[in-house]
Copies of this chain bind each other. A is one copy, B any other.
Amino acid sequence: MTEIRDDVFERFLKIKDTTRVKIRFNDTDAMGIIHFKNYMVYFDDGFVSLMDNIGHPRRIEDVIKDGIGCGVKHVDITYEAAARYGDYIIVESQIKNINSNSITFHHEIYKEQDKILLARVDCTRYFIDLKNNELIDASEFLLTFTKLDDSS
């Protein structure tokens, strides 16, 4: 990994994305709160939003439609407080670690109204070429997808 790339990765690690998610009634459960399963969807929204705002004209959705699979290898999530129907939540996302095999994203999920922290998440993802089911070099993918190295 060259010095130039380290510099590029430094820039990736500084990017912060914030997205807003509206909680649906069917996200709740009989305890009256958002079921823990649904936070998987919320930080996935954060991942998509981060990738879409990372500096490339193509949306990650279109890249995925074109045959790049994005899998999840590991999730570590700590639930700090409960949210309810009618709340809006804020997902703050950033890249925590970049490896050749995977990228780890860190997400913090807040209730918009009172900024109460709902959950902290580390999620490690990998990328595969669905045509041959081969793992894609994650750092290469990030560089290619974002074209951030063109500008360095």
Contact = CB atoms under 8 A, between A and B. Distances in A.
Interface of A: 24-26, 28-33, 35-37, 40-41, 44-45, 48, 59, 61-62, 64-65, 69, 71-79, 82, 84-86, 130
A31 B79 contact: no
- Number of identical protomers: 4
Contacts of A25: 29-30, 35, 44, 48, 64
A79 B25 CA distance: 18
Main secondary structure of the interface of A (DSSP, over half): mixed
Contact of A85 (B32, B61, B84): B61
Given A26-B37, A30-B30, A35-B26, A78 B85 contact: no
Contact of A36 (B32, B72, B84, B85): B72
A85 B37 contact: no
A29 B30 contact: yes
Nearest to A128: B31
A37 to B, nearest CB: 4
B79 A77 contact: no
A113 to B, nearest CB: 12
Max chain B C-beta neighbours (<10 A), residue from A35, A62, A65: A35
